[in-house]
A and B are shown apart, each in its own frame.
Chain A
Amino acid sequence: MATISADKARGPESREDKLPDAVVVRFAGDSGDGMQLTGGQFTLSTALAGNDLATFPDFPAEIRAPQGTLFGVSAFQINFGSTDITTAGDAPDVLVAMNPAALKTNVDALKPGGLIIADTGEFSKRNLAKAKYDANPVEDGSLAKWDLLAFDISAMTIEAVKPFGLGNKEALRCKNMWTLGLALWMFDRERQPIIDWLTTKFKKLPDVANANIAALNAGHAYGETAELAGPLRKVQVDSIPSEPGLYRTITGAEAVSLGLVAGAQLAGLNMFFGGYPITPASAILHNLVKMKEFGVTTFQAEDEIAAICAAIGASYAGQLGVTSSSGPGIALKGEAMGLAIMTELPLVIVNSQRGGPSTGLPTKTEQSDLYQAIYGRNGDAPLPVVAASSPADAFECAIEACRLAVQYMTPVILLTDGYIANAAEPWKVPDPNTFEPFPVKHLEEKNGPEDTLLPFKRDERGVRPWIKPGTPDLMHRIGGIEKGIDTGNIDYSADVHQAQTDARRAKIDGVAKGVPEQQVCLGETSGKLAIVGWGSTFGPIHQAVRRARRQGLEVSHIHVRNVWPLPRNLGDLLKGYDKILVPEMNSGQFKTVLRDQFLVDARPLTKTSGQPFTIAELEAAIDEMLS
């Protein structure tokens, strides 16, 4: 049965016996092995156990890449602990490798002395060759710097599910549940919620449900018996003291969907969502179709352009138009965004950023659409841009995007990224009664002198009225051609274009007056070094700054949510630091924006590998800046 690693030199006693604050586990297997499902269920049981956590699903662009190949490996990493967790963790403590390819692509990330759990049933000659191994790594001692627990999970799964009469192929599909059972045992997690979930999921296939439950139980039982013999042992991670209240886990895509629904409710509007399938943004469409009782209409359009145009049409007709995509789709929507800017209609555009340019890295994360969001349209076409820093933050940001759109009659871009969209974290469910409503009032009567209508008459903030078709006596025409002051009639004379260009810019600049001043989220409001981030780099920056400060380094963390227009105090705030470092997952876009806007010596720290920053990378950068 189990073959315990040849690496006997380092037994259990070589590892620290005190309770760890946090543990990082990575499940890796073939894209058909169900690793995302395993990770998702382990996340849930971890949240239920009261740990704080962050996850990082990392999967290939292919749905079912050829079995056993290196490019077909799908991984799910979770960092959980008894302290505040803000990243998915740098290096795993435990790697579960379901085949040689998963081992090969992930083992180098594992901490020295970390534990490898490998399914020898998949380490056949053929699979070793596919993973480009000349010799079997579980036998040749090449994994000596780690603990290795290698045994035939495949055979044990088949054995466990035998009573249910599944074919060999179907039986092997239960492998992930066997592995999950073992992981649940290791970290002392409840099995019952997973059993309930399996029972519901396979309601119509009781044999499959029972087989999966049997596999889960068998994995768990294996932990009990094998503990005595080898490197496997139970690890206790205490729960984190949390504020009392109702909690759930939430991904960024879920948070954006809920935030949009909440935002439309707070505006007192029905929502129209136009979308087109694209990774990693499709999840928002999938979520919203289940929320139609909130006055949500979803429309899967024929292309990205139709998706945004239909959303603008709905806004024109008086609803809150929303569209969502990722970089390539956002590029296609550019012209329509310009029309929404020109006609001054509200619209929310969600960009779940991925690696680019072009198709780029569809399933990997990047922050390289910042220029596209701020500048990427023809003409002088300013609009507000809001960036979410975590899955939970995406909820508030979505509400904020809706608010800005309807209060300033403008399209607003909400930036998330592949990491935020897919990652999960615990979320204290907010009470909707605490949200500030921002009810919309459409114009119902003529607003000009002598019984005239002035569709483009601006208020003191430069905002025009919202007039929906169907309103008596307010018939008027709008369009993308430059328009006369107040009347909106076609007028592209020199003075008018100058005045309207200025007015559109002033209106968006004025948004800065309607959003909070920039706070420093960790550290002093002046000093030697500010680390300035935006978006999903929040977690690693925050941990790195926290650690550096513990060592006595004078460093602060500033994280910008309103990336356009920038908070009105940001320039002065930045000038209070000797040095400014801007880590971002692109080649230095926000750094350039800050330099341009404030003439400050912001330095870049860039990463475009499709992977989030590690805390260690940021700590090293802080050290270098301060040395």
Chain B
Amino acid sequence: MNEMTKIETTLKDWVTDQEVRWCPGCGDYAILKAVQRTLPEIGADPKNTVFVSGIGCSSRFPYYIESYGFHTIHGRAPAFATGIKLANPELDVWLVTGDGDGMSIGGNHTMHILRRNLDCQIMLFNNEIYGLTKGQYSPTSRVGTPSPSTPQGSVDRPASPCAFAIGSGARFVARGIDISKKLPEVLKAAHAHKGAAFIEIFQNCIVYNKDVFHDFAAPKGVEDQQLWLEDGGPMLFANGTKGIAFDIAGCTLNVVDVIDGDWEAAGVAVHDVTNRALAHMLIDLRVAPAFADFPMALGVLYDDPRPTFESEVAAEREKSSAGKTADLAALLGKGQSWTVEG
């Protein structure tokens, strides 16, 4: 996000006159609400806010936010966002993408916007399926996912969006759940991070991949499957009865029982959002086969800012034009020239 003057708005100010065209019950509705709730809270200014999306169900998002919006082409939203932000760094840029848009056709651009660290918020709605094209398996679908293009079940192994992000050089990696009340907090943290902030949001496609995240993202009864992280706080879950401890010798993490809330005695580790090695392991919990029995790590997994792309591009442009004047006549006549006398 930018150093910006906070503007007073309400949720209503961020609602457009457009009819929302997602399927009834789609997780996107909850995410839209969470974003519309977050924007007033962070003091966002509609005139300086731009939502950029690619193609897919998630990418219809900009039409429903009363700000500037650009619904672009499949997978390329990061490239458009880069041009927008370099042209006007004052703009507060949000990207909306999905697992097909951002991890498959646009995987290349996702990698590069993260490595360059363009200041923006990237919301990747992961529903492990191609929705808008009617249900083909996606690059995040689990092996064996039956779909119109894989009637016997998919055979290729899924990509892990957060692992991809941190491997690409992301300095902020977070996770949220569409219907979770904590989603606005995650979005706020992403917005507070100066640089590319990557948020994987587990989204329930009720038509083509219903309840695929039910084991940890169901509305109720899954507290022991969710590890909500807090910087500087102990990594506890299951109502504080369990925690995550370092296994130094094995260079891995363990689940430990916490007796009577004494997490220190149980050896529960404290979360440090700047610890990159820890972030790598947290991303793998429940996702990698070795950590299948762990809870899903949610919230801010990693947050360690560094200078942004647009600020460095501007600095370089300033440096290379220092002491030069924009004299077009002089530019045209530059180099080895000669004069023909009249």
Contacts and interface: CB of A to CB of B under 8 A. Distances in A.
A116 to B, nearest CB: 30
Contacts of A312: 72, 80, 83
B25 to A, nearest CB: 22
A248 B76 CA distance: 41
Given A339-B73, A490-B18, A490-B63, A310 B317 contact: no
Contact of B333 (A246, A316, A476): A246
Contacts of B63: 477, 479, 490
Interface stretch (A143-151, A428-436, A599-607): A428-436
B324 A477 contact: no
Most buried by B among A261, A469, A481: A469
Nearest to B67: A475
B342 interface: yes
A50 interface: yes
Most buried by B among A243, A468, A471, A477: A477
A412 B336 CA distance: 32
A272 B340 CA distance: 36
Contacts of A296: 317
Given A302-B109, A318-B88, A480-B72, A245 B82 contact: no
B66 A475 contact: yes
Contact of B47 (A292, A433, A473): A473
B248 interface: no
A316 B84 contact: yes
Interface in B251-271: none
B94 to A, nearest CB: 12
A50 B337 CA distance: 11
Contact of A321 (B68, B83, B324): B83
Nearest to B16: A477
A292 B317 contact: yes
Contacts of A301: 79, 82, 112
A303 B47 CA distance: 31
Given A431-B329, A477-B62, A293 B321 contact: yes
Given A246-B339, A432-B332, A305 B79 contact: yes
B86 interface: yes
Contacts, number: 198
B91 A309 contact: no
Contact of B83 (A292, A310, A490): A310
Interface in B25-40: none
A485 to B, nearest CB: 16
B28 to A, nearest CB: 16
Contacts of B336: 44, 48, 193, 197, 248-249
Interface in B196-240: none
Given A248-B333, A293-B326, A479-B70, A314 B76 contact: no
Contact of A247 (B67, B82, B337): B337
A514 to B, nearest CB: 24
Contact of B84 (A469, A474, A489): A469
A254 to B, nearest CB: 8
Contacts of B337: 246-248, 429
Majority-rule SS of A interface residues: mixed
A336 B73 contact: yes
A477 to B, nearest CB: 4
Interface residues of A, number: 74
A243 B73 contact: no
Interface in A209-256: 242-249
Contacts of B84: 313-314, 316-317, 469
Contacts of B331: 258, 261, 291, 294
Most buried by B among A262, A296, A316: A316
Interface in A586-604: none
A311 B83 CA distance: 6
Contact of A294 (B69, B88, B326): B326
Interface string B24-59: 000000000000000000000011101010010000
Interface in B62-102: 62-63, 66-73, 76, 78-88, 90-91
Nearest to B316: A292
Contacts of A313: 52, 70, 79-85, 87
B86 A476 contact: no
Interface string A310-332: 11111111110100000000000
A148 B335 CA distance: 37
A319 B85 CA distance: 11
B88 A469 contact: yes
A274 interface: yes
A47 interface: yes
A306 B86 contact: no
A290 B334 CA distance: 12
Given A316-B80, A318-B88, A470-B88, A247 B328 contact: no
A265 interface: yes
Interface string A178-222: 000000000000000100010000000000000000000000000
29 contacts: A244-B339, A248-B333, A261-B331, A292-B320, A294-B326, A296-B317, A302-B112, A305-B76, A309-B80, A309-B109, A312-B72, A313-B82, A313-B84, A313-B87, A314-B84, A316-B80, A317-B87, A318-B87, A321-B83, A339-B72, A429-B333, A469-B68, A473-B47, A474-B47, A476-B68, A477-B62, A478-B71, A479-B62, A479-B70
4 pairs of A and B residues whose beta carbons are closest in the complex: A313-B83, A479-B71, A244-B342, A309-B79
Interface of B: 16, 18, 46-48, 50, 52, 55, 62-63, 66-73, 76, 78-88, 90-91, 108-109, 111-112, 313, 317, 320-321, 324-326, 328-329, 331-342
Given A313-B83, A317-B91, 12 more contacts: A44-B336, A244-B339, A272-B87, A274-B83, A313-B52, A313-B87, A314-B84, A314-B86, A314-B87, A339-B73, A470-B48, A473-B47
